[in-house]
Amino acid sequence: MKFITTLTLARRSPLLQVLKTSVAAVVAWMVASFALQQPLPIFAAIAALLVVQPSVTQSIEKGLERSIGVVAGVAIALGAGQLFGDHSWVILSVIIISVIVAWALRLGPGSANQIPISAMLVIALGGQNSGYALERIVETIIGALIGLIVNLAIVAPVFVSPARVAVASLTKRTAAVLESLARALSTPQSDAELRKLLAESRMLRDLRDAAAIALQQGADSLTLNPRKSKHHRLLRRETELFAMLSVLVTRTLGMARAIHDRYDTNLMTDPVVISIARELERAAHDLRVRGRAPGERESAPATIELLTLTAPLTVLTPHPQHWILIGSLLEDIRRVHEVIVGDKDRG
């Protein structure tokens, strides 16, 4: 059933991530147990489990969230425990107060959830003892630091490859839709084919959003990463290509909508429309050229490598019947030419 599928991921987390999390929890337990003479350093293990994230940046964020939540929760529990003891109604009151405090301070989900959890555990396990409460704070900090160190020490993950794959997929699909637009202007199209063209162009938005997320994850994975210099140049290239693709997706969707709404088989006989179709084919070709990695460009034949877009089209006399559609397509193809060729001064 659909609600069950949301409980699982499309792909498992890397096995290395599982191993790092396990190592961090075990080491945090052992260090906290030795340093604090605490037989059950639960707070340290929990902190380590939460702090080990796919990227170093996320680990730091989780560590801060966890620490802030524990400190606030322990403070609330300590005050309530010393004033009212450890009765059940006190624990329930502490939970409610913790939630209200997190809301009032506008804390993120990590800290907001951690405050009531920490307060509840501390007051239930020894909230009237200020020494116990202080140890829980130190214990949490130990676990968070060890989680961060483990994440740094054991091959900090880099997510540049998924970003490259996502951008490459967006490039490929955008070029394919541009070719479909050219085909729609040069060969007769049925209503079903026009609907399919519009649906394919709309799918580009989902691919664009997925690529944006992948690029952000790639950037996060390089922050404070020892291997940053090796991958930074590759990610920068993908980011620049994505900026160009974002404009192309918007323009491509606009052209698909215009053709779908104002299609007429008589368009194929108009010289300007014929030129627009030719430019769309060239744009698809040039986009694939721009999307190739430097190594792929060097190995490609010289005839394939050449950019083929001409100067932006101009129309001296507007079409008496289809001037709205043609004018819209001309503006979109001008912008496509501008972002692919990088010529902002012409046309």
* Structural contact between residues 218 and 160, judged by C-beta atoms closer than 8 angstroms: yes
- Tokens 């490609």 correspond to 300
* Structural contact between residues 76 and 94, judged by C-beta atoms closer than 8 angstroms: yes
Q: What is the pLDDT of residue 226?
A: 66
Q: What is the pLDDT of residue 169?
A: 93
**What would the mean pLDDT of 15-20 be, rounded to a whole number?**
81
Q: What is the pLDDT of residue 299?
A: 45
Q: Which residue has the higher pLDDT, 138 or 232?
A: 138
pLDDT digits 0-9 by tens, 22-48 = 998 999 999 999 888 888 888 888 888
Cα–Cα distance list, 166 to 125, 293, 346 (Å) = 49, 14, 32
Cα–Cα distance list, 167 to 155, 238, 286, 333 (Å) = 25, 7, 16, 22
pLDDT of 10 > 80? The answer is: no
**0.75 surpassed by pTM:** no
Give residue 261's pLDDT band: very low, low, confident or very high (50, 70, 90): confident
**What would the mean pLDDT of 293-318 be, rounded to a whole number?**
51
Measured CA to CA, the distance from residue 79 to residue 71 in angstroms comes to: 12
Q: Which residue has the higher pLDDT, 61 or 13?
A: 61
**What would the mean pLDDT of 143-163 be, rounded to a whole number?**
82
Q: What is the pLDDT of residue 31?
A: 92
Q: What is the pLDDT of residue 207?
A: 93
Measured CA to CA, the distance from residue 202 to residue 208 in angstroms comes to: 10
Instruction: Return the structure tokens found at 131.
Output: 């020494």
Q: Which residue has the higher pLDDT, 245 or 88?
A: 245
Give residue 304's pLDDT band: very low, low, confident or very high (50, 70, 90): very low
pLDDT of 301 > 50? The answer is: no
pLDDT digits 0-9 by tens, 155-212 = 667 788 888 999 999 999 999 999 998 888 888 888 898 899 899 999 999 999 999 9
Q: What is the pLDDT of residue 347?
A: 39
pLDDT digits 0-9 by tens, 218-255 = 887 777 666 666 777 888 888 989 999 999 999 899 88
Q: What is the CA radius of gyration of the chain?
A: 29
Q: What is the pLDDT of residue 228?
A: 67
Ordered DSSP codes for 191-253:
HHHHHHHHHHHHHHHHHHHHHHHHHHHHHHHHTT-TTHHHHHHHHHHHHHHHHHHHHHHHHHH
Give residue 257's pLDDT band: very low, low, confident or very high (50, 70, 90): confident
Where residue 155 falls (left for φ over 0; alpha for ψ -120 to 50; beta otherwise) is left
pLDDT of 312 > 50? The answer is: yes
Count CA atoms closer than 13 A to 263's CA, side-chain side.
24
Q: Which residue has the higher pLDDT, 212 or 51?
A: 212
Q: Which residue has the higher pLDDT, 341 or 126?
A: 341
Residues of the chain with CATH 1.20.58: 160-341
Where residue 8 falls (left for φ over 0; alpha for ψ -120 to 50; beta otherwise) is beta
Q: Highest-confidence range of 4-8, 71-75, 237-241, by mean pLDDT? A: 237-241
pLDDT of 15 > 80? The answer is: no
Q: What is the pLDDT of residue 303?
A: 41
Q: What is the pLDDT of residue 225?
A: 67
Architecture of domain 160-341: Up-down Bundle (1.20)
CA dihedral 226, 212, 167, 338 (to 10 degrees): -120
Give residue 346's pLDDT band: very low, low, confident or very high (50, 70, 90): very low
Q: Please tell me the total number of residues recorded for the chain in this structure.
A: 347
Give residue 317's pLDDT band: very low, low, confident or very high (50, 70, 90): low
Q: What is the pLDDT of residue 82?
A: 77
* Structural contact between residues 215 and 239, judged by C-beta atoms closer than 8 angstroms: yes
**What would the mean pLDDT of 38-63 be, rounded to a whole number?**
80
